[in-house]
Structures are given as C-alpha cells and as structure tokens.
Amino acid sequence: MKTRFFLLATLLYICQAASAAVPSLSLIPLPEHMEQCDGTSSFAKKFTIRLDSKASAEVEAVVSRFSHEFCTATAMDVQRTKKSSATMTLSLDAALASEAYTLEVAGGKVRISAAQPAGFFYALQTFKQLFPRSVMAGQPCTDIKTVWTVPDVRISDAPRFAWRGFMLDEGRHFYGKEAIKRVLDLMSVYKMNRFHWHLTEDQGWRVEIKKYPRLTEVGAWRNSKVLGWGDVKPDGQRYGGFYTHEDVKEIVAYAAARFIEIVPEVDIPGHSQAAVAAYPEFLACDPEQPHEVWLWQGVSADVINVAEPRAVQFACDVIDELAALFPFGYIHLGGDECPTDKWERNALCQARLKEIGSEKYRDLQIDFYHKLQQHIARQPLEKQRKLIFWNEVLHGNTQPLGKDIAIMAWIGADGAARDAAGRGFNTILSPQIPYYINRRQSPLATEPRSQGHGTETVEAVYNYVPAKDVPADLQAKYLGVQANFWTEWVEDAATVEYLMMPRLAAVAEAGWTPQPRRSYPDFLNRLQGEAELYELMGVSYGKHVFE
C-alpha cells in the first residue's frame, strides 16, 4: 500500500513538473503548415529511434549526429532500434521535395518523413525547437530523471525559397574559425543554407592561395586595425589574418554537416587593392607606383588591370583553387563598385576596349569575367562552378556571360532583381535597406558604432516583402533572400553577433515561410524565448526587442 501511494505521488509530481514545463510552441521560421494538437507528449529516460532501412549513409549521419546531441542535451538513453515500437520513426518519402519534411508528435511517439538528408535535418531541428531552449543550445543535461514534455503537433513543411543566405565580410576584419562556426550554428538554428563568405577586399585578402603566397604574406596584413573614415585615422597597428586550406576544409565540413553551402567570394576586379599590393607587377594598372593594403573605408580606385593577360591567368588560378576547396555550386566574383578611372588611362585597357568594339569601360569588366567563365567551362565537370555577381554588372553588356550566372541584387534591389530576372538571370534579393544587418538596429545611443541611423530595425527587416508583385513568369528566377554584413566599423566577433541577432531570424523567416503566413506581431511573440537560446549559446544579441 505504502509503495503504491509512493508511486502515485511520484507520478503526480512528475506530471505536475512536466505540465509546468510545457514549452510554448514558438517555432522560427514558422512552418508552412502546422497544427497544434490538444495533448502533450512526454519523454523520459529512454528514447529509441528507428530509421528506414533504405536510408542513405548521409541520412544515417544526420540521425547519428542528432542522437548524440539529443542524448547530451536531454540525458536520455538514446538508442537505435529496429522495433516498430520506437519512440521516433524516420521514414523515406520520395514524393517530398528536397528540403521538405513532415513531423508528427502525438501519444509519446514521433514520426518524421523526408526524401533527402536536408529534409531529415530540418525535421530534427524543428523537433528540437519543441523542447526548452537548452536542447537547441546543446546544453548538457545531467539529470537522468528529467521528464521532457512537448506539445503535440502535426507539421508539414518546406521552404519558400531555395536560397536562404547570410554574407559576412571578413576582408575588412578577420574573426577566425570559431567565430565562423558560431555564425554557422546560428544559421542552422533557423534553417538557413547559404553562407556567402566575402573573403577579399581592398583592406585584406583572407584565403590562402598556394600558387600566389604573397596574397596572404602581404595582402592579409595592413598597418591599422581601425579603418580610417572622417575623423577616424588609421592607428598604425599591424593587423590581419587569413584562413589556410586546412582551416577552410574544417569550416566547409562544419557547414556541410548543417546543410549550409559556402559561397566563397573573391571580389574582383574592384575592391582588390590588397591583391594589387601583393602582386603589383601584373595586377596594377600602374605597377611603377607604390601599392599597399588599404587602411581606409570607401571604394579604392586601385583596381586590377583586366586587360593584362597575367591578371586574367591569376584570376583563373584563384578560381581553380577555390573550386578545389569549396565543393559547392557557386563562386561569387563580386563586381560591385569598380571604378574605371585607371583603365581609362591604361594603354592595354584602351586597346582591349577597341578590340571588343565598345566605348564603355564597364564592358572591360564583363570581358574579363567572360574569359574567366570560358576557363571554367574548360575544366572537368566536377570543378565547374556557376558564377554570381553583384548587380552592378548589369550596367555592362552582359550578353557574353550567357544566362547561367546569378545576380545578387543589393542596390535598388527590387528593380535590379526584376531587371536581372527579365534578362533571364537567376537572382537573389539582398536589399541594402533593410537587409544589411551590420547597420544600427535601433536609434538607441547604446548601439555600437556602425552605419545607418537605426532605421533597419528588427521590424523593418521582418517587414521587407521579397519578390513583391513579381509577375508569375519571372518568379522562378528568384532564388531567394540573403542578409549581408559589412564590417568596416565592426572589429570584433561579439559585435557581429550583436548586430546580427535577432535580425538574422527575421530574414530566415522571409526565406522559409510563405508570405501570407508572416506577421510581425506574431514573429515578435515567438522571438521572445530566443533570448534564452542566445544566452545559453553565449551569443551576443540586440536586446531592445525583448521584454
């Protein structure tokens, strides 16, 4: 009798503790279809997983990683089983799209289906979001008696856009591997899948290229940490850094495990003063002049001499090494803000312009890219990459580049994207206003120094409507959305995080959730609990939107 009473009391206590701990359902990004059921499901001590016997090794890897992390975060004994009584069943459903999944939690059981590894990964990310934030944060739990109670749900989900990106500029400031991994962690929380790594600038070259060692011996270092602007003068401090091939491989593997493709960017022929300083003898338009890695903000006029054959060979060699390092679909060649002044005074450039039958110096830039594209086309298939450019390339005669390139629209983004799509190019929306999330996120005096006046708030970022009023026949050209982060003023990784978060979550939802389901008040409500996640992850974030 005593034992029965004790058991009953214990059960009551567990149930009360469990019901007190039921987390609210606040998923970001909001799934395409979601139904919250009346009940809850509780998990304790043992959690068994049954995976479809036809699952690929890649799906197997996704599930193994989840099992390990889930075991650490819940202290449950997570085991694989072949029994149909498993707590979690993962099934292949070939009819689903590549990133789509279904997730059902009911009666203490979890059922997941997907067609591809990414779908399973996203289902498991959503599943973790049903739990207290400590689970997504990967915070170890040591209490094996913990009962985990989550709301019962039925979700059928797929992203609106294939491209859900974030760009970080490390040309201006170098943050290092651990900072990049934290960025990738945050992206994966919100199911973002493209990390655009802006690796070169006037102010620094950040990736080792074995064939051109001076790019990092010279180009990765400058004589000031701060970048001069207005009253701010260069400080004379030796500053810099770069990623070796080994570092890149480590980051590529880390990203791939989170279904994030890395899009490396070498911004050429403009924004290239660091490269010019490393190899002025064939990259400079005026090699007889002194060239140094730039110490200032703004746009340098010291661009690559696009009509010099050795500069073309240089760019081809860099592309070859990037293609070997980054096993993904795209390489970004920049193309923004490239002054033509030096070309206009250079004999080789003048002669080449005549040869191509143009009077517009911008066409020399396209001619340069065309040669690089022809070089890529001569490579074995596995080394070929598609090219992406900033939307300024639309100001040249893009005809030689064919239709296979993608245009990243930033300045006058909606119009530029529409122009690109109309010309048959794929396009990605990364509007400067409001998707440059390095800009101040509030007018508060406590905001760190950065560009803007604080008008790119969480609300403004959230309320941008991608591909608004785009005709149906052009919509397929819109690959998706991307937030960009420029770092002229941002010298440390904590400030990057502070400005990124929580605006990254707002962009992620624009990329994932169908427009009619998006609402800022609802998002703000769901966002509130994320402060706890950022605290647990040790991530800095803008606090003013949290109550």
Report the interface residues with ligand ACM, using CB under 6 A: 336-337, 390, 410
Give me the amino acid identity at 534. Answer: Y
**Nearest to ligand ACM of 120, 410 (CB atom):** 410
- What minimum distance in Å lies between the beta carbon of 163 and ligand ACM? 16
Cα–Cα distance, 167 to 181 (Å, whole number): 14
- Is the Cβ–Cβ distance between 346 and 305 less than 8 Å? yes
**Nearest to ligand ACM of 321, 336 (CB atom):** 336
- What minimum distance in Å lies between the beta carbon of 47 and ligand ACM? 46
**Nearest to ligand ACM of 55, 394 (CB atom):** 394
Please tell me the number of Cα atoms within 13 Å of 145 on its side-chain side: 6
- Is the Cβ–Cβ distance between 270 and 242 less than 8 Å? no
- Is the Cβ–Cβ distance between 187 and 195 less than 8 Å? yes
- Three-state DSSP string of 112-170: EEECCHHHHHHHHHHHHHCCCHHHHHCCCCCCCCCEEEEEEEEEEECCCCCEEEEEEEC
- What minimum distance in Å lies between the beta carbon of 206 and ligand ACM? 17
DSSP characters over 195-231:
EEEE-EETTEE-B--TT-THHHHTTTEES-SSPBBTT
- What minimum distance in Å lies between the beta carbon of 359 and ligand ACM? 26
- What minimum distance in Å lies between the beta carbon of 336 and ligand ACM? 4
Residue with tokens 């647990």: 536
- What minimum distance in Å lies between the beta carbon of 337 and ligand ACM? 5
Q: Structure tokens of 46? A: 């043992």
Cα–Cα distance, 532 to 530 (Å, whole number): 5
Q: Where are the beta strands (DSSP E) in 378-459?
A: 386-390, 406-409, 426-429
If we measure between CA atoms, which residue out of 353, 545, 330, 521 comes closest to residue 426?
A: 330
Q: Are strands 101-106 and 109-114 parallel, antiparallel or unpaired?
A: antiparallel
Phi-psi domain of 337 (left: phi exceeds 0; alpha: psi -120 through 50; beta: other): left
3-state helix, strand, coil in the chain (%, to 5): 40, 20, 40
Phi-psi domain of 156 (left: phi exceeds 0; alpha: psi -120 through 50; beta: other): beta
**Nearest to ligand ACM of 415, 538 (CB atom):** 415
Cα–Cα distance, 505 to 537 (Å, whole number): 15
**Nearest to ligand ACM of 135, 490 (CB atom):** 490
- Is the Cβ–Cβ distance between 450 and 499 less than 8 Å? yes
Distance of CA 81 to the CA centre of its chain: 35
- What minimum distance in Å lies between the beta carbon of 298 and ligand ACM? 11
**Nearest to ligand ACM of 462, 485 (CB atom):** 485
- What minimum distance in Å lies between the beta carbon of 169 and ligand ACM? 9
Cα–Cα distance, 383 to 322 (Å, whole number): 9
Radius of gyration of the chain, Cα coordinates, nearest whole angstrom = 25
- What minimum distance in Å lies between the beta carbon of 243 and ligand ACM? 21
- What minimum distance in Å lies between the beta carbon of 196 and ligand ACM? 11
- Is the Cβ–Cβ distance between 127 and 67 less than 8 Å? no
Q: What is the sign of the dihedral through the CA atoms of 291, 296, 301 and 305?
A: positive
- What minimum distance in Å lies between the beta carbon of 489 and ligand ACM? 14
- What minimum distance in Å lies between the beta carbon of 64 and ligand ACM? 39
**Nearest to ligand ACM of 314, 410 (CB atom):** 410
**Nearest to ligand ACM of 29, 466 (CB atom):** 466
**Nearest to ligand ACM of 174, 410 (CB atom):** 410
- What minimum distance in Å lies between the beta carbon of 452 and ligand ACM? 13
**Nearest to ligand ACM of 100, 387 (CB atom):** 387
**Nearest to ligand ACM of 156, 432 (CB atom):** 432
Residue with smallest beta-carbon separation from ligand ACM: 336
**Nearest to ligand ACM of 76, 428 (CB atom):** 428
Cα–Cα distance, 10 to 127 (Å, whole number): 28
If we measure between CA atoms, which residue out of 517, 510, 534, 525 comes closest to residue 189?
A: 534
**Nearest to ligand ACM of 52, 201 (CB atom):** 201
